[in-house]
Amino acid sequence: MKIIRHPTDMQRWALEQRRAGASVGFVPTMGYLHEGHLSLVRLARARAEQLVVSVFVNPTQFAPNEDFTKYPRDWRRDERLCREAGADVLFAPRAEEMYAHDASVSVLEARLSAGLCGVSRPGHFAGVCTVVAKLFNLVLPTVAVFGEKDAQQLRIIQRMVRDLNFPVELVACPIVREADGLAMSSRNARLTPEERAQATCLRRALDAVEHAFARGERDADALRKIARGAIERAPLARIDYIELVDDESLDPVVLIEQPTLCALAVNFPSARLIDNTVLRP
Amino acid sequence: MKIIRHPTDMQRWALEQRRAGASVGFVPTMGYLHEGHLSLVRLARARAEQLVVSVFVNPTQFAPNEDFTKYPRDWRRDERLCREAGADVLFAPRAEEMYAHDASVSVLEARLSAGLCGVSRPGHFAGVCTVVAKLFNLVLPTVAVFGEKDAQQLRIIQRMVRDLNFPVELVACPIVREADGLAMSSRNARLTPEERAQATCLRRALDAVEHAFARGERDADALRKIARGAIERAPLARIDYIELVDDESLDPVVLIEQPTLCALAVNFPSARLIDNTVLRP
């Protein structure tokens, strides 16, 4: 496995693959890899001749009050896991080489970004879109894999690829969960044992919503109330949002008649967690 | 010469070139081609194995009060000129196929776009950046040629390529002028004979600035005044701006100590004209 640090070297490698006619799979990550990431990596590995994994904790997608400096990092482990998973290239640029001191161009998504995490994380998705556009131009992937845990991000990236005509096939990869149902996330590492025990409330809330939906409940408010009840049983959990939105437009839904994304964000003292499920009538 | 109408077909062709290892030159235009465009086309022709010219009057870079519907068009002539200039592909998409009805992603440049034409044309450069990003992703050029007449646009596109890491080499092509010095522009066709006669005031203003600069004048205000005098001798000309700005940052300049862009925009009753020169101390 080749480790590439500099964006220029990454693009040179990518242009060589292009000339050689090789398909390139790509999994962008912020590192501190877990089984969720590895499921993306395996999917990309199966889909392309060459596989690039990037590890880059992108500063521009964190607000000043957020956890950029506290975001967990473990370079040695990430390197080993990428190697074991069969990556051909591990791209790990430094922020100073990704962003010029006078960088002034960004990619903005104006509709899907407005709600859900966009409310409590202003600027987050502009940071995500911009860095993913940059990474696409550096890695030149034929196929890129994103996780369904970041449901809003996935839909925004799909929209960006469509609206800016990136020649990339996007593949969505299902959420990977711990034995007790907690969705895998690098941020889980920051939870205290007590928080970790209570963090299952997200999955329990989604379970309760899915069961009510399966029994015929179609009223979004009623389903939201069910989720709220499940989360409120965890004393350390503070709800950021519980939303039921159209799975495509992310517009709020009153009655569930189309595929509907039920998305949760919950603040624990040590980390903010998200989870989601899609309800299909 | 192949005429391609649909973005999907354009990208398919481009991916084939990529696989074949062919270099692709690209000249994006809004059509109504003149000798200025053809100089860009010839430059691109000499630089690449395959040559794509696009003709697309991009609605999103016109404000509601601007001249989108009045922008001159002549498809037959454009087609003939592209063929004669040796284009391999003429890409002429329809707006409905370039923009989804719910398009929501745009590319924004936040610093270089603020002054000059950005003042009187809000949203213009966001429209330009977005459509050029889309065209780059559809045509996948190795080299793209832009004209120096649109000085601010050229610098913004250079910034976009740098900040989003597009794998494209940009080439700037000098301004082509009519015999009397008027910079070639599709909009010149809209001038009345009287306006056309007076439109030389832009080049005369730049001449006067260049002469004063050559004689040692370094004060931006003094140079601006000289330009103003030359334009005010044309009774139909209404000055939009006369600016002296740093050639790289486009920040206003007081004393000329670095390469400085002197840029003009002048409104005539039938068309808005721009011109520029770079002063190098």
Mean pLDDT for the stretch of residues A254-259? 98
10 Å Cβ neighbour count for B277? 20
Residue A67 in this model has a pLDDT that exceeds 90: no
Q: What CA–CA distances, in Å, run from A97 to A73, A100, B217?
A: 19, 7, 40
Average pLDDT over chain A, rounded to an integer = 97
pLDDT of residue A66: 87
Q: Which of B6, B37, B101, B211 is catalytic?
A: B37
Instruction: Give the C-alpha separation, B150 to A187, whole Å.
Output: 47
Question: pLDDT per position in chain B (281 positions), as tens?
Answer: 999 999 999 999 999 998 899 999 999 999 999 999 999 999 999 999 999 999 999 999 998 888 898 899 999 999 999 999 999 999 999 999 999 999 999 999 999 999 999 999 999 999 999 999 999 999 999 999 999 999 999 999 999 999 999 999 999 999 999 999 999 999 999 999 999 999 999 999 999 999 999 999 999 999 999 999 999 999 999 999 999 999 999 999 999 999 999 999 999 999 999 999 999 99
A179 in a structural domain: no
Structure tokens at A54: 């990037």
B180 in a structural domain: no
CATH number for the domain harbouring residue B99: 3.40.50.620
DSSP state of A60: G
Instruction: Give the C-alpha separation, B201 to B205, whole Å.
Output: 6
Contact A154, A99 (CB under 8 A): no
Residue A64 in this model has a pLDDT that exceeds 90: no
B65 in a structural domain: yes
> With an 8 Å Cβ cutoff, is B131 touching chain A?
no
Same structural domain, B275 and B192? yes
Residue in A with minimal Cα distance to B113: A104
Same structural domain, B63 and B168? yes
Q: Which of A11, A159, A164 is facing B134, going by the closest CB pair?
A: A164
pLDDT of residue B188: 96
Same structural domain, B98 and B74? yes
Instruction: Select the more confidently predicted residue: A183 or A21.
Output: A183
Same structural domain, A104 and A9? yes
Same structural domain, A25 and A163? yes
User: How many contacts does A have with B, using Cβ atoms within 8 A?
Assistant: 95
Strand order in the sheet with A50-55: A2-4, A89-91, A50-55, A24-29, A143-147, A169-173
User: Does B108 contact A108 at a Cβ distance shorter than 8 Å?
Assistant: yes
> With an 8 Å Cβ cutoff, is A104 touching chain B?
yes
Question: What ipTM was assigned to the predicted interfaces of this complex?
Answer: 0.96
Q: Report the gap between the CA of A224 and the closest CA in chain B (Å).
A: 28
Domain span at A147: 2-173
User: Does B249 contact A102 at a Cβ distance shorter than 8 Å?
Assistant: yes
DSSP state of B33: -
Q: Which of B11, B106, B160 is facing A167, going by the closest CB pair?
A: B11
> With an 8 Å Cβ cutoff, is B106 touching chain A?
yes
CATH number for the domain harbouring residue A270: 3.30.1300.10
A180 in a structural domain: no
Residue B119 sits at φ, ψ, to 5 deg, of: -70, -50
Concatenating the DSSP letter of every residue in A86-119 gives T-SEEE---HHHHS-TT--EEEEE-STTSSTHHH
Contact list, A102 vs chain B (CB under 8 Å): 111, 249
User: Does A107 contact B106 at a Cβ distance shorter than 8 Å?
Assistant: yes
> With an 8 Å Cβ cutoff, is B162 touching chain A?
yes
> With an 8 Å Cβ cutoff, is A134 touching chain B?
yes
> With an 8 Å Cβ cutoff, is B133 touching chain A?
yes
pLDDT of residue A117: 93
- The answer for residues whose C-beta is within 8 angstroms of residue A114's C-beta and 6 or more apart is none
Same structural domain, B157 and B28? yes
> With an 8 Å Cβ cutoff, is B105 touching chain A?
yes
User: Does A134 contact B102 at a Cβ distance shorter than 8 Å?
Assistant: no
Domain endpoint, select from B173, B195, B221: B173
Structure tokens at A277: 């499920």
Contact list, B163 vs chain A (CB under 8 Å): 99-100, 103-106, 134
Mean pLDDT for the stretch of residues A2-19? 96
- Minimal CA–CA distance to B107: which of B87, B135, B88, B140? B135
B179 in a structural domain: no
> With an 8 Å Cβ cutoff, is A101 touching chain B?
no
pLDDT single digits (tens) A224-248: 999 999 999 999 999 999 999 999 9
pLDDT of residue B83: 97
B258 in a structural domain: yes
Same structural domain, A99 and A206? no
B7 in a structural domain: yes
Residues B91/B189/B35/B127 CA torsion (nearest 10 deg): -40
Three-state SS at A4: strand
Same structural domain, A233 and A160? no
Single pTM value for the model: 0.96
Same structural domain, B117 and B164? yes
- Minimal CA–CA distance to A215: which of A281, A122, A167? A281
User: Per the structure, how many domains does chain A have?
Assistant: 2
Contact list, B134 vs chain A (CB under 8 Å): 163-165
Mean pLDDT for the stretch of residues A130-140? 98
pLDDT single digits (tens) A82-114: 999 999 999 999 999 999 999 999 999 999 999
To the nearest 10 degrees (0 to 180), the angle between helices B124-139 and B151-163 is 60
pLDDT of residue B10: 98
A79 in a structural domain: yes
Contact list, A164 vs chain B (CB under 8 Å): 105, 107, 130, 133-134, 137
pLDDT of residue B1: 97
Domain endpoint, select from A138, A173, A208: A173
Q: Report the gap between the CA of B125 and the closest CA in chain A (Å).
A: 11
> With an 8 Å Cβ cutoff, is B88 touching chain A?
no
Q: Report the gap between the CA of B25 and the closest CA in chain A (Å).
A: 16
User: Does A164 contact B133 at a Cβ distance shorter than 8 Å?
Assistant: yes
Same structural domain, A10 and A127? yes
User: Does B100 contact A163 at a Cβ distance shorter than 8 Å?
Assistant: yes
Same structural domain, B139 and B266? no
Residue A65 in this model has a pLDDT that exceeds 90: no
pLDDT of residue B64: 86
Query: Please, what sign has the CA dihedral across residues A197, A200, A205, A208?
Result: negative
Domain endpoint, select from B173, B200, B232: B173
Same structural domain, A193 and A58? no
pLDDT of residue B66: 87
